[in-house]
Amino acid sequence: MTVSAVMSGDPLVRFIDVQKTFDGETLVVRNLNLDVADGEFLTLLGPSGSGKTTTLLMLAGFETVTHGDILLAGKSLKSTPPHRRNIGMVFQNYALFPHMTVEENLAFPLESRQAGKAEIARKVGRALEMVQLTGFEKRRPGQLSGGQQQRVAVARALVYEPRLVLMDEPLGALDRQLRENMQYELKHIHESVGVTIVYVTHDQGEALTMSNRIAVFNDGAIQQLASPSALYEEPENAFVAQFIGENNRLTGVVKSVNGSQCTVAIDGGGEVAAAAINIGGTGSRTTLSLRPESVRIDPPADGYPDRFEARIEEIIYMGDHVRVRVDVCGHDDFIVKVPRSREAPALAVGQTRTIGWHPGDCRALDVA
């Protein structure tokens, strides 16, 4: 399912000028306008206190909207209680009934909606097949692993076929390998079922792996809303550049601007050409964003006008690449990712080597 495909048609969910305050003074969510397409996997990503979870809880109906409105399928949710919104929920703590079997846990939301026995049996069987837990019907949650419990929680949220499922840090309690496996499971379930998912996490890896689009939150507002590749490769401000993926950050002053490019005098010495993305005029301060994999050691002169002498401070073998920390322009935390190849063994701590990059890979942004 491509981003362009899920973005066609009217949105399933629409936040219109939504604000939220708990004390009447501080806005936890500020002037939120956000559309969620039918069939989309949208992730709300940000640090603790950024407003992402509050946004999800307002959509679920567990928190009230202070100002503005939220529409679901074109209808306001203001007067609709949580249990009448027909929204599935998956929490970090699973929230399974420990005294019920897997089958009974899945049947519960169907029984609450007064479904018939034949329909319940059919939908429970389909949900178990969907999360690859056929044969576990009679087990209780305490007899399952953490990953299996999470699958049951996902199945219970999908069993009554809601149009929208909300997930709040659902993989946070799992170990790393299981969490990564579950990311792929959720992605595949979403692709096969076509349900709309709004997912909250502070883990950028989860967001990049599963999402059609990601809304990066900070200080109660969306900093950037884009596809995973656009967020990583084309951050629009310094916060997004620093929060998404590993990033080298240099600061300086804009010396000149020529269309889409600018020249920046770096604090610590030297000048670079960079893509002028989000800057003031000549004389304004800027933050330069540069991904470690975009930097070359001993680059050819052609195409690499931005070149500096750098001292190698640390070398870490990472399997598929070598992570090299260098001291350049007064910054001793500058990272270069070198692919595992014949050139990597030639590197040594204490060496002074030339590093460089294409000007288009260096983005001049607002001051963080």
- Cα–Cα dist 116/107, whole Å: 10
d(CA 232, CA 221): 19
Reported as a single tens digit per residue, the pLDDT across 248-305 is 999 999 999 999 999 999 998 889 999 999 998 899 999 999 999 999 999 988 888 8
Looking at the chain, the whole-number percentage of residues with pLDDT higher than 90 is 69
Strand partners, 321: 339
Whether 66 has a pLDDT exceeding 80, the answer reads yes
Which pTM value belongs to this model?
0.88
- Residue 345's pLDDT is what? 66
What average pLDDT does the chain have?
91
C-alpha R_g of the chain: 24
Cα–Cα distance for residue pair 56/156, rounded to 1 Å: 19
Name residue, tokens 């909300």: 166
The 8-class DSSP code of residue 116 comes to -
Classify residue 136 by its DSSP letter.
-
pLDDT by residue (tens digit) across 79-126?
Answer: 999 988 989 998 877 788 999 999 999 999 899 888 899 999 999 998
85: nearest Cα among 57, 116, 48: 57
In this predicted structure, the answer to whether residue 58 has a pLDDT above a threshold of 70 is yes
Provide the pLDDT for residue 340: 78
Q: In the chain, what are the domains?
A: 3-238 (3.40.50.300), 245-365 (2.40.50.100)
pLDDT in tens, 139-177: 999 999 888 898 898 889 888 888 999 999 888 877 888
Q: Which two tokens stand for residue 189?
A: 């379930």
Q: How confident is the model at residue 368 (pLDDT cuts 50, 70, 90)?
A: low
DSSP string, 138-165: T--GGGS-HHHHHHHHHHHHHTT--SEE
Residue 5: the pLDDT is 38
Q: Which helix (H) or strand (E) holds 124?
A: helix 117-130
Run of H or E residues at 120 = helix 117-130
Residue 71 has pLDDT above 60, yes or no: yes
pLDDT of residue 224: 97
Q: What's the pLDDT score for residue 343? A: 59
The whole-number average pLDDT for the span 37-49 is 96
